[in-house]
A = this chain, B = another copy of it.
Amino acid sequence: MTAAQAVNKGDVSWMLTSTLLVLLMSVPGLALFYGGLVRSKNMLSVLTQVFAIVCVVGLIWVTYGYSLAFTNGGALNAFVGGFDKAFLKIAPEGKTIIDAVAATFSNNVYIPELVFVAFQMTFAMITPALIVGAFAERMKFSALLLFTVLWVTFVYFPIAHMVWYWGGPDTLALEAYKAALAAGGDASKAAAAAADAVSAYNAKDAGLLYQWGALDFAGGTVVHINAGIAGLVGALMLGRRIGFGRDLLAPHSLTMTMIGASLLWVGWFGFNAGSNLEANGLTALAMMNTFVATCAAAVAWLFAEWAVKGKPSLLGMVSGAVAGLVAVTPASGFAGPMGAIVLGLIAGVVCFFFVTTVKNALGYDDSLDVFGVHCVGGILGALGTGILVSSGLGGTDIVDYSTCKAAIDNGVATFSGCSSSYPGMGAQFFTQLKAVLLTLVWSGVGSAILYKIVDLVVGLRVTADREREGLDLAEHGERAYNM
């Protein structure tokens, strides 16, 4: 670590906190949110699936996952990384693992790389866990584990790489400086050279979607659209639950669902505001957006349901809250608070309409609405981000790192010296759309293939008798409650 690379302990503190908050989202947050919605005979199966996914992915992440997502993949670099940092070989030469640093979005601002590894690990843990809601109450546990291992390897790591992999402004600055140095004393020449170097560098060392200029602050595509479409494909391939549309498949404990939703919200501040990798004003903006979009979406669903169905339900409101959280995820560091509210209102109403009407019309059994909330909400957010980022709508605009003279020189945290590279609403919207489509196709097709493989190897679904008995007893030999 050079003197210039000294980390700020305030950043470290916030990122450590953010990391554990995202774990809190998965266990117990998501597990309870989902678990409360199934029948009591399947409660443990949901809890077990989420907890097991977290643990298995954790081990995969430090062995090869982090490396596949966040290193240069050579010839395949547009799509996936390589194995340079497998087994966490991140120690700088002659130093130890605790001295390794990772760049943030601000020039000359670093955090210990282990913090970045841990933070990103929690994202890799929660994404496959989101999927289980789609085929809850009927999947084999062995099939789930096998699917998870394959899915993170062939779907999650590549998409994370495509969206987020980039050397960071630091690399950029370095390259620019080198170029300026090489160019000699002439300032204008140096600047031009720097800009060129940057473009060249960007072109060669970033994931595909990053190169396109797709914006995804905290994982709208990588996490939510990705998991949502994988869930839909799974629900279709496993088929409907026995009794679907006939029996009372009511949630066994909305209390648990409410606890889960609340912990998701609390933890999501780590997810969204942590994605800034620093503790500054932009982090605060991401937090504020995560607050108000959620409020707006919860209220929107509540009133929509009240108007249409006659009663405002808790499940509706918390579903709205989650839809708002999903939608604001890609926008959290780009939109302004009023933009975030608008996004939340739209997400609440659209997702309500989708899961209560469209889904019923289509007749598939996505048990816990992974598609209707995460994929639909994620798409709304991804597209909305392209619009709301506009400073005209209160957004932050997009930093054009190649013009960040002040930022490059002074390494200040805010990029007041940078001009905007916002290509305008239409163009950015189109870029976002492309990113959404690529994710839908990659994850949709990839997941379908993987489900098929798993079905051939161990079989996807439990027998009807075991499904009726409940997965808790059939698959895990336990009962959730002995009151």
Q: Which residues from chain A sit less than 8 Å from chain B, CB to CB?
A: 1, 7-14, 16-17, 19-21, 23-24, 27-28, 31-32, 35, 39-40, 43-44, 47-48, 51-52, 54-56, 58-59, 62, 87-88, 95-100, 112, 114-115, 117-118, 121, 141, 248, 250-256, 258-259, 261-263, 265-266, 269, 273, 278-285, 287-288, 291-292, 294-296, 298-299, 302, 309-315, 317-318, 321, 336-338, 341, 391, 394, 396, 414, 416, 475-483
Contacts and interface: CB of A to CB of B under 8 A. Distances in A.
Nearest to A297: B55
Given A10-B10, A97-B336, A98-B396, A252 B481 contact: yes
Given A258-B31, A281-B99, A295-B55, A287 B118 contact: yes
Contacts of A284: 12, 16, 98, 112, 114-115, 118
19 contacts: A12-B14, A12-B280, A12-B283, A16-B284, A16-B287, A23-B266, A27-B258, A28-B259, A43-B255, A48-B313, A55-B294, A55-B302, A88-B338, A95-B416, A118-B284, A252-B482, A253-B482, A310-B477, A313-B476
A269 B20 contact: yes
Given A95-B416, A100-B281, A112-B281, 13 more contacts: A8-B9, A19-B269, A28-B262, A31-B262, A43-B255, A44-B258, A58-B291, A62-B338, A98-B281, A115-B284, A252-B481, A310-B477, A315-B478
Contact of A480 (B17, B44, B253): B253
Nearest to A324: B55
Contacts of A312: 48, 52, 141, 475-476
A-B interface, 9 closest residue pairs, ranked by CB to CB distance from nearest:
A9-B10, A98-B281, A58-B295, A114-B284, A311-B477, A13-B14, A27-B262, A28-B262, A10-B10
Contact of A255 (B47, B250, B475): B47
Residue of A12, A44, A278 with most partner-chain B CB within 10 A: A12
B9 A11 contact: yes
Given A97-B285, A314-B47, A279 B55 contact: no
A482 B39 contact: yes
Contacts of A481: 252-255, 483
Number of copies: 3
Do most interface residues of chain A lie in helix, strand or loop, or is the interface mixed?
Answer: helix
B14 A11 contact: no
A414 B99 contact: yes
Contacts of A309: 477
A217 to B, nearest CB: 14
A321 B333 CA distance: 35
A317 B55 contact: yes
Contact of A291 (B39, B118, B282): B118
A364 to B, nearest CB: 23
